[in-house]
Chains A and B, each alone.
Chain A
Amino acid sequence: MNDYLQLLQTYFPYIAKGAIVTLELTVFSLIGSVVIGLLATFAKMSGIRVLGYVAGIYIELIRATPALLQLFIIYFGLTSFGIRLEPMAAAIITLSLVGGAYAAEIFRAGIEAVDRGQFEAARSLGMSTPLAMRRIILPQAGVIILPPFTNFIISMIKDTSLALTISVPEIMYRSYDASSQSYRSMAIYSMAAILYLAICLPLSRFAKRLERRRAAQ
């Protein structure tokens, strides 16, 4: 026990600093995902064929290949075109592209879950499609997608651990590093687990509460 406390003292601050990097990765990738996800959603719903195709192909490509492969293509693969990205930048771009594809599906499902009559009522009052979207449909879709979107944030947090493979010093990278120095894998990785749980559990509680509240209405 004493021994574990000592390990904690030595390695916890080092690993905990990784949590800041993990959160940075998460926040920037979420912003990227939302932007890309919205663009893909509107492209699909625009009724403009070409845009719809492009968005559809993007979503399928992303969903049918592992995120790790996409990360390696962006970080290592692009160097053959002379594009050398910082590890952090490569990770954020990859996670945004991956997240965008999944976010697009969440957004579309949310918009489609809004009663069709809402759109018709808005249009029958003379609102244009973009205005009806902005004022009537999206605010309602926003409430609907809150629980799945919270779950999406949780997966994003966990997916940032992929960045370990290209040496972004987030939680997993630092744990791996600490464990190879100390030869105390169980103790070290349990610290990493505690950090992930501390971030993810409150979010998953929040999502559950939202779902319950919606079910009650």
Chain B
Amino acid sequence: MSAPILQLEGLQMAFGELQVLRGVDLTVREGESVAIIGPSGSGKSTLLRCLNRLETPTGGKVTFEGKPITESSNVNHLRMRMGMVFQHFNLFPHMTALGNVIEAPIHVLKMSRADAEARGRDLLGKVGLLEKAGNYPRQLSGGQKQRVAIARCLAMNPRLLLLDEITSALDPELVGEVLDVVRDLARQGMTMMLVTHEMRFAREVADRVVFMDGGVVVEAGPPEEIFTRPESPRLQKFLKAVLEQVSET
């Protein structure tokens, strides 16, 4: 078994009175892909945002690469090693696809423009968008935008990738092309935490599935167990509801 890269112990997060995370325990090992599922409002996004400190946890302990993230003297350094892809892409609209990908390598990693561009093209090629390098985000489809966002993230060479419902803002016919990219990354051994509503995909790609509800991890385990032999009533209810939704559409 590979070494743990991320460990959460009793992670808590409150927005004022509202306690969103009520003590989350979780370990992610190197090369592992962990899918997080759960009803809307259960704190999945908040969990990911706490990990790269877009939110500051109000309690508990998170250790990343052996160091507590709250003590990490430089939050920018933490974020360089932990990439995040958002539901709404958040591409920089005033830059081309390639411009988006090379921005942080040039200005944060201080890479030379030539090196950054070579690597940027390489990454755009990997997500199948080399011919779109010179296009602006508004000229791209949702699926293409999200693939650029993934390439932009990979350009920083992160050790851990956080993906928050990256296909839920996409038209159904564009979901596949983005999931293909994620599947490839998983195969290449990228460590990932992905929040997703695509149960079939979670089942196929994840090494482990974590079911969250009410700000805690209710059940976690290998996909076969979670999806075929759910133990807790809450997970059973959730899976039933999701399956009904799928069969309706």
Q: Which residues of A contact B (CB under 8 A)?
A: 115, 117-118, 120-128, 131, 135-136, 139-140, 143, 217
Interface centre among B83, B91, B104, B138 (most CB of A within 10 A): B104
Q: How far is the CB of B202 from chain A (nearest CB, A)?
A: 23
Partner pick for B79 among A123, A131, A140, CB 8 A cutoff: A123
Q: Check if B59 is an interface residue, CB within 8 A of chain A.
A: no
Docked Cα-Cα span, A217 to B139, in Å, equals 12
Interface residues of B, dominant DSSP: mixed
Please give me the residue from chain B that is nearest to A114 by CB atom.
B93
Structural contact, A126 and B86, CB atoms closer than 8 A = no
Partner pick for A125 among B79, B88, B94, B138, CB 8 A cutoff: B79
> Given contacts A124-B52, A125-B103, A135-B103, could you give 5 more A-B pairs where the C-beta distance is less than 8 Å?
A125-B83, A125-B152, A125-B156, A126-B76, A127-B76
Structural contact, B94 and A140, CB atoms closer than 8 A = yes
List of A residues within 8 angstroms of B94 by Cβ:
139-140, 143
Structural contact, B90 and A121, CB atoms closer than 8 A = yes
Q: Check if B34 is an interface residue, CB within 8 A of chain A.
A: no
List of A residues within 8 angstroms of B77 by Cβ:
126
Structural contact, A123 and B54, CB atoms closer than 8 A = yes
Docked Cα-Cα span, A126 to B86, in Å, equals 15
Q: How far is the CB of A134 from chain B (nearest CB, A)?
A: 9
Structural contact, A126 and B104, CB atoms closer than 8 A = yes
Partner pick for B104 among A117, A127, A217, CB 8 A cutoff: A127
Structural contact, A118 and B92, CB atoms closer than 8 A = yes
> A128-B76, A140-B93 in contact; A117/B54 too (CB < 8 A)?
no
Interface centre among B52, B83, B94 (most CB of A within 10 A): B94
Partner pick for B108 among A126, A139, A217, CB 8 A cutoff: A126
Mask: chain B, 136-166; 1 = CB below 8 Å from A; 0 = not:
0010000000000100110010000000000
List of A residues within 8 angstroms of B93 by Cβ:
140
> A125-B103, A135-B103 in contact; A120/B80 too (CB < 8 A)?
no
Structural contact, A120 and B90, CB atoms closer than 8 A = yes
Structural contact, A118 and B90, CB atoms closer than 8 A = yes
List of A residues within 8 angstroms of B108 by Cβ:
125-127, 131
Please give me the residue from chain B that is nearest to A127 by CB atom.
B108
Q: Check if B98 is an interface residue, CB within 8 A of chain A.
A: no
List of B residues within 8 angstroms of A139 by Cβ:
94
Q: Which B residues from 82 to 112 make CB contacts under 8 A with A?
A: 83-84, 86, 88, 90-94, 103-104, 107-108
Docked Cα-Cα span, A139 to B93, in Å, equals 10
Q: How far is the CB of B18 from chain A (nearest CB, A)?
A: 19
Q: How far is the CB of B45 from chain A (nearest CB, A)?
A: 11
Structural contact, A117 and B90, CB atoms closer than 8 A = yes
Q: Which B residues from 49 to 84 make CB contacts under 8 A with A?
A: 52, 54, 76-77, 79-80, 83-84
